[in-house]
Structure 1
Amino acid sequence: MALLVSSPPLNRRFMSLIIAALFLIGLLWFFTPSFDSVRHLDVPALLHYSDPPGVSAPPSSSAGSGLQPKPNHPIDHLIRRAYADIDALLAKETHDVHAAAQAYRDRRGRQPPPHFDAWFAFAQNHSAVIVEDFFDQIYSDTAPFWGVPARQIREQANDFLHRISVRDGNVTQRTDIDERAWMNLWQDMVQSVAQWLPDVDMPINVMDESRIVVPWEEIDGYMQRERASRIIVPQEELKTYYDGLKGLDRNPPEKFDAEFSGMGPYWPLAVVGCPPESAARKAYIETDFSTAPPLDGQYPKGSYEGYVQNWTLAKSPCDNAALQGLHGTFVEPISIANTKKFFPLFGGSKLPMNNEILLPPAMYWTDDPFYSGGKEHGQPWDEKRNGLIWRGAASGGRNKESNWKRFQRHRFVAMVNATSVEMAETGEQTPLNFALPANDTYDLAALTGSTAHSSSKFGALAKWIKTWSNAAVVHLLCFPDPNPPHCAYTDSYFSVSRAMPMKEQYAYKYLPDIDGNSFSGRYRAFLYSTSLPVKATIYEEWHDSRLVPWVHFVPMDHTFVDIYGLMEYFVGNGDAGVGGHDDVAKGIAMGGKAWAEKVLRREDMQVYVFRLLLEYARLCDDEREVMGWREEPG
């Protein structure tokens, strides 16, 4: 009975404790950052984009304007979808070598290479984010080599003129002149992980342009052999070590002729690397580039209401045949040294149909402020000018009086120049090298009913562009070049401005990044900055699998027709009563910077090169099909 009498007070005290505990838990839950906020790199302004696709984002006002943006914008949809993509990618992160090895087997269909445990330990000790998908470029580049004999690969590599070699953990280079800056930087990059590497010979592409395009049909044959070779070799049957290459040094192979040719144009040489059914293989080959480019101002192919939704498609010359007349690489590159012969050649960038093996570019390894931007990466977002800055040479190839209208950098500068756009709007001059959006395809406030208060819509787009654009060339690079930096045939269209150090460009919120003779060497520095990169390219780089468009940068179509829609979305148009999405821009910029500082560090380049050269060394071994890391039970 005493127990029954004393029971109610105990229950009340117990219930009181439970209620107090629940209250404390509730407070902790309310004030503790969500898992989403951690995964999204602590960018509160964009947390609503972690909602499931289809959930409308709340309104977001332009910077201090109080204006509301247009509701249900296509870019809202693309950003929400992109955040779902990065969530799915990060869910694959592995934290121990056994999980990483299983992820490797699941994705690659074979055992990890020998020394995989040493690679994983190196990556983990350097705080790398380890997601198997991040290394897809390695396998895209090297897979076809499973279709050719290992001896052929190592002998071709050993004889190539420009070469970086590893022997017993020491790195040397061979080239044709005393000093090649890129070779020195790549040698240093490889040396930084050489103590763990097997012997390898790495032929290096010392040109800006890509050099190998093997016919698609031949590569497809190699890929069929690669797929047939995939097997998970039992642990007890694995060969767990690499053979050295000293025997090859003692008995050099026969002379290897890569059969490079300098004959152009480049487009017919490049499209042989595209699938037979591709648009590029079926396209009429242009030879006259003196006319305006083939642009109609309509939505780009494969876009989502005019904006890039498939970054791989947007960059693909195979799928965009018009690129032969829109990019200097195909109009007239500075130089051509092309071959159809398949052999290992390493370089910093390539076109999707090229067959080089990608390394992190040498200029990403340097501390030169011209490429790195220096130690300062820009002032806080709210202290920046609410506009776009671009400075660069009119590179991209050999621009001449007969072809300059087809070059990408000339086109971009003209499209964001208020004077050239006003002349196009008023009909004073038909655009020579660009096209305005046709029939209000982008619903721009400057071209629609939002400007009804104005006496005329003519010049409204140009007036708006003038509020945010600051783009100019620093050298017109014409051919021949009698009066640098000016150019007789383009001086009447372009003003030459002084070069601007990257740290000065960081004073602007938006940094377009446009291809030059190949990829732009400023991209990594832009990602590291406190500004927002707006990227247009047709080139592939080592890091493509670890960057997500609309999360880490803003993608732009190679025609640049979407630039006006992009800028209206972000900066708005106050005169037309339309607000922008300054907080969204800030979120992508800051999130991209935080992500770059996690996955694009020098340490991440080391991790990538370490993994790449383990795979490449295995390809060069006659027993490669039974080679792998023997996993001890853990």
Structure 2
Amino acid sequence: MIDEYDTINEMLLPFWALKPATIRSRIASALGHEDSALLAVAVRHGAVENFQGGEEWQQQATIGMMKPFVQYLPDMDLGFNMHDEPRVVVPNDLLASMVAKARDETLPRAAKNTAPRNAFSNRPDDMNDGTRFIESSTTKFNRFAHQQTWTHSRLSCSANTQAQTFEDYAADNLTAYATSELGFIYNTTAFSDICNSPSLSSTYGFFERPNAFSIIHELTPIFSQSKISSFQDILYPSPWYWIGKVGYDEAHDTTWENKTNSLYWRGSTTGGFSRNGGWRRQHRQRVVQRINAPDTAQILEPVAAAPNAKPATTKYKVTDVDRKALRNLIDVHFSHVGQCDPGDCDAQKEFFKVTERVDGQDAWYYKHLLDMDGNAFSGRFYSFLKSRSLTYKMALFREWHTEWLKPWVHYIPLSLRGDEHLDLVRWFSGTHVFDDDEDGKKDRSDADGGKGGNGQSEGERKARLIAERSTEWHDRVLRNVDFEAWFFRLLLEYGRVVDDKREEIGYPGPIFNGVRKKDMR
């Protein structure tokens, strides 16, 4: 395990601007209304006293994930999001004020405490014994399911970002996250920051018509499994992963040498609800359509160095290639059409090649695996990393593991625009292209859809290295015990934030021979 918990501090930072009683009151109100779509969990006396809401698997997995450490938690009421989509987005002026207050006032005041106590306070008077959740007659959540949500979602973006333009159109801030003519992603944090990319309003399903959208504009502690960058939900390790909803059966996997040398994906038209042709503005449909398009793509090819040139970094040039020449590298198709009005469902079935549903374990027969967001995070990512294949990932939704998994080290990041998709697969597969008719466009390749990709080109060697590295790293930081440890740390920090004596609480340091380290001279 690596000691990276900045995400926890960043998520909880604005809550330090609110009084603990205010935070407790807001979550109590949310948990008390039947339409809040929350799994409510009451912790009392070091145990889960009560819970309600949510599907059985989410209840069992969430409480099971807490079981190893719940005895150390203070009394608290927790609200876990039942929806795939996030729930809390605070307007920028309020959010910025809260962050400033927390950084400039509350936390510096707490830091001045030279003798913090390593213990939580007793249960405050405004919390009951946990045997029931007090009913609320009203809810502050507003529902906008199957409606466009960009205007709501960008509320927390600062005024000087591309997303907050006064005009109907503004260019994306591509330089913040992409490089070269093809747009290779070099900064996944900036790529997933929607404030950089107003084009997402018409290219990503969550902003077109999400399947569910029930949001609150007050800062409220809602725990979600994933979120868009502009939302203030508190991320926690997904119980979906903890309980093994999408498993990996090693017996179905095969050696790298024996895997088919192409990019594989099967999935549904999730990501948003399609009405009046809206599927054309949703991310999964755009990715599948673009990567299977019969038009011209662009790739980068090395430029031959002059005979007397000194050794230097290899230079590349953009070259046109007929996508048909690389069709054997791509096996990306929908296997189910859903979340759409009847007319839109029929239109998609006609437009796309929809295959029969397959066993998810069939993915391991391919060297290159595509993973992308659905209604929220995909849920397959960890099993892909665990496998002996190379994972390519297109994701805007952020999860708890951001600091622990690194692009280009454990997986290959992909953009939504897709200009670079085909070239990445070509390079990592070791595929060569040729211009047989010498018209300046590559129109043939040596990709045959077989067991290639086992050569010694730099791309092939890197593909295998990253695939092996992701498997090894998965087994070090994505075990259930790792989820539990991170979740424990999160709830300890949250427990401090909602404690009326939070500025007196802290870790005073270890004791050596009866003396605290900070007191040793």
* TM-score, normalised by the number of residues in structure 1: 0.68
Structure 1 residue 497 and structure 2 residue 355: aligned? yes
Helix, strand or coil at the partner of 1:520: coil
Which residue among 193, 197, 202 is the counterpart of 1:316? 193
Structure 2 spans left out of the alignment, 5+ residues: 32-37, 303-318, 435-444, 447-456, 513-521
Structure 1 residue 194 and structure 2 residue 70: aligned? yes
Deviations 1:150-194 (A, max 9, x none): 0111232234333112212212453347x4422331121112321
1:243 maps to: 121
1:268 maps to: 151
Structure 1 residue 628 and structure 2 residue 503: aligned? no
Helix, strand or coil at the partner of 2:193: coil
Using the TM superposition, name which of 359-368 and 316-325 deviates more: 359-368
Distance 2:123 2:29 in 1: 13
Distance 1:173 1:562 in 2: 50
Matches within 5 A, 1:118-133: 129-131=1-3
Helix, strand or coil at the partner of 1:544: coil
Shift, 1:310, TM fit: 0.9
AA aligned to 2:122 is: G
Structure 1 residue 282 and structure 2 residue 159: aligned? no
Shift, 1:528, TM fit: 1.2
Helix, strand or coil at the partner of 1:272: coil
Deviations 1:347-384 (A, max 9, x none): 1000111010011112111123xx12345572221121
Shift, 1:570, TM fit: 0.7
Helix, strand or coil at the partner of 1:463: helix
2:385 maps to: 527
Which residue among 277, 281, 284 is the counterpart of 1:406? 281
Which residue among 440, 451, 474 is the counterpart of 2:335? 474
Matches within 5 A, 1:426-437: 436=297
Shift, 1:329, TM fit: 0.3
Helix, strand or coil at the partner of 1:382: helix
Matches within 5 A, 1:98-497: 129-131=1-3, 134-161=4-31, 162=38, 163-176=40-53, 179-228=55-104, 229-231=106-108, 233=111, 237-245=115-123, 247=125, 248-250=127-129, 255=136, 257-263=138-144, 264-282=147-165, 284-285=167-168, 302-305=177-180, 306-368=183-245, 371-374=246-249, 376=251, 378-417=253-292, 421-422=293-294, 424-425=295-296, 436=297, 440=298, 442-443=299-300, 461-477=322-338, 479-481=340-342, 487-497=345-355
Deviations 1:109-131 (A, max 9, x none): xxxxxxxxxxxxxxxxxxxx242
2:426 maps to: 568
Distance 1:478 1:160 in 2: 28
For the 8 Å contact 1:444–1:565, the answer to whether it is kept is no
Higher strand share: 2
For the 8 Å contact 1:464–1:573, the answer to whether it is kept is no
Shift, 1:612, TM fit: 0.4
AA aligned to 1:587 is: L
Shift, 1:553, TM fit: 0.7
For the 8 Å contact 2:117–2:505, the answer to whether it is kept is yes
AA aligned to 2:398 is: E
For the 8 Å contact 2:17–2:101, the answer to whether it is kept is yes
AA aligned to 2:128 is: D
Distance change in 2, residues 1:607/1:406 (3 Å)? same
Helix, strand or coil at the partner of 1:492: helix
Distance change in 2, residues 1:244/1:308 (3 Å)? same
Matches within 5 A, 1:35-74: none
Distance change in 2, residues 1:497/1:346 (3 Å)? same
Shift, 1:295, TM fit: 11
Shift, 1:582, TM fit: 1.0
Helix, strand or coil at the partner of 2:262: strand
Shift, 1:400, TM fit: 2.8
Task: Compare relative contact order (CA 8 Å, sep 6+) and give the higher one, 1 or 2.
Answer: 1
2:489 maps to: 611
Distance 1:254 1:477 in 2: 36
Distance 1:350 1:204 in 2: 13
Corresponding residue pairs, total: 460
Shift, 1:444, TM fit: 6.1
Using the TM superposition, name which of 277-286 and 325-334 deviates more: 277-286
* TM-score, normalised by the number of residues in structure 2: 0.82
Using the TM superposition, name which of 166-175 and 214-223 deviates more: 166-175
2:397 maps to: 539
Distance 2:138 2:264 in 1: 45
Distance 2:476 2:426 in 1: 31
Helix, strand or coil at the partner of 2:325: helix
1:45 maps to: none
Shift, 1:472, TM fit: 0.9
Distance change in 2, residues 1:317/1:236 (3 Å)? closer
Distance change in 2, residues 1:515/1:282 (3 Å)? same
For the 8 Å contact 1:326–1:406, the answer to whether it is kept is yes
Distance change in 2, residues 1:224/1:338 (3 Å)? same
Distance 1:520 1:310 in 2: 20
Using the TM superposition, name which of 306-315 and 371-380 deviates more: 371-380
Structure 1 residue 583 and structure 2 residue 461: aligned? yes
Helix, strand or coil at the partner of 2:95: helix
Distance 2:357 2:71 in 1: 41
Distance 2:25 2:249 in 1: 41
AA aligned to 1:354 is: F
Distance change in 2, residues 1:250/1:487 (3 Å)? closer
For the 8 Å contact 2:176–2:187, the answer to whether it is kept is no
Larger radius of gyration: 1
Distance change in 2, residues 1:408/1:533 (3 Å)? same
Helix, strand or coil at the partner of 1:443: strand
- CA RMSD in angstroms, aligned pairs only: 2.8
Distance 2:340 2:46 in 1: 46
Distance change in 2, residues 1:497/1:243 (3 Å)? same
AA aligned to 1:617 is: G
